[in-house]
Amino acid sequence: MDAVSLAIIEQLQEDGRRPYAAIGKAVGLSEAAVRQRVQKLLDQGVMQIVAVTDPLTVGFRRQAMVGIDVEGDVDPVADAVAAMPEAEYVVMTAGSHDLLVEIVCEDDDHLLEVINKRIRALPGVRSTESFVYLKLKKQTYMWGTR
């Protein structure tokens, strides 16, 4: 990835609705060239342009990080959990748990159903540990491209 693409990403992280003409001015390209580069970055899966919300304000009153311990191959469990619409973030780890999964649910009953009936029912899942969120203090995606 070249410096210009990184600069475009930084511009969009500051404001995902920034016009391509303004980005072009900042990075030294034409509006058309920025449009083409942005589309390429999107097509390659390098970035996404989305609206980030506070889940509480849009009706999702329960969030939790769930640590999952797996017997055997972690990949099939990770793939199955990643396919669940409530799973917003799924990572394989080298630590106390094999997987960490952020779950976003409407309420406690919904969270219980996801963990107890769906995650724990997956073949290979040995145990789970849930960390229920009480209050969102910071959620940002402004780490830049360093």
Residue 141, domain member (yes or no) = no
3-state SS track over the chain: CCHHHHHHHHHHHHCCCCCHHHHHHHHCCCHHHHHHHHHHHHHCCCCCCCCCCCHHHHCCCEEEEEEEEECCCHHHHHHHHHCCCCEEEEEECCCCCCEEEEEEECCHHHHHHHHHHHHCCCCCEEEEEEEECCCCCCCCCCCCCC
CATH number at residue 28: 1.10.10.10
- The reported pTM is 0.79
- Same domain? For 62 and 107 the reply is yes
Report the chain's mean pLDDT, rounded to a whole number: 93
pLDDT digits (tens, 9 = 90+) for 8-24: 999 999 899 999 999 99
- Same domain? For 73 and 123 the reply is yes
Residue 146, domain member (yes or no) = no
- Same domain? For 73 and 120 the reply is yes
Share of the chain above pLDDT 70, in %: 97
Domain span at 101: 55-132
pLDDT digits (tens, 9 = 90+) for 64-116: 999 999 999 999 999 999 999 999 999 999 989 999 999 999 999 999 999 99
- Same domain? For 59 and 128 the reply is yes
